[in-house]
Amino acid sequence: MELTVYLAGQIHDDWRDTLEQKAKQNNLPLSFVGPQTNHDKSDSVGEDVLGEQPNNIVKDDTASSINNFRTQILMEQADIVIALFGENYKQWNTAMDASLAIAKNKPVMIIRPTSLVHPLKELSNKANVTVENVDQAIKVLQYVFL
């Protein structure tokens, strides 16, 4: 049984690589998908495909339409969704990905520092599990296969 994990969350550091490597070191039969992690591409993809747009609102809307198309395809493949929240950035995409997964009855684990307990409390309560860091998330994933 190989399971697919969607990794929702910010795309400004390499937390996905860290998590994927630790999963590999532990021989967990997991493959990973997630949002576009090339930040520039994620912002420019609307204009990359459709050409110059008349203003930034439209540029952003065309980019988001393609990002949502991509994300919807990949999340549909996922058996598990992990959503990481950090102290920077608005991360409303992360909240959206986690919430849509909850609504689709996909098992959801949130990773967040304890400094974010309060603002995330309702979303944490809706998700299955909340942990504080990637190492704890790996322990939970290991437990799935015990």
Touching its own copies, residues 69-128 (CB under 8 A): 69-74, 76-77, 79-80, 85, 89-93, 95-96, 98-100, 102-105, 107, 109, 114, 116-126, 128
Rounded to a whole number of angstroms, the minimum distance from the CB of residue 20 to its own copies is 15
Cα of first residue to Cα of last residue in the chain, in angstroms, is 13
CB proximity list for 70: less than 8 A, separation 6 or greater: 35, 36
Residue 48 one-letter amino acid: D
- DSSP assignment of 98-146, as one string? HHHHHHTT--EEEE--GGGTTTTHHHHHHSSEEESSHHHHHHHHHHHT-
Which secondary-structure segment (H or E) carries 32?
strand 30-33
**Contact characters 22-51, its own copies, x per CB under 8 A:** ---------x-x--x-x--x---x--xxx-
Which of 25, 27, 54, 88 binds its own copies (CB under 8 A)? It is 54
In the complex with its own copies, the residue whose CB is nearer, 27 or 55, is 55
SS3 28: coil
Interface size with its own copies, residues (CB under 8 A): 74
Q: Taking the complex as a whole, how short is the minimal distance between the CB of residue 112 and its own copies, in angstroms?
A: 10
Of the pair 24, 139, the CB lying nearest its own copies is at 139
Minimum CB distance to its own copies, residue 125 (Å): 4
C-alpha–C-alpha distance, residues 17 and 4, integer Å: 15
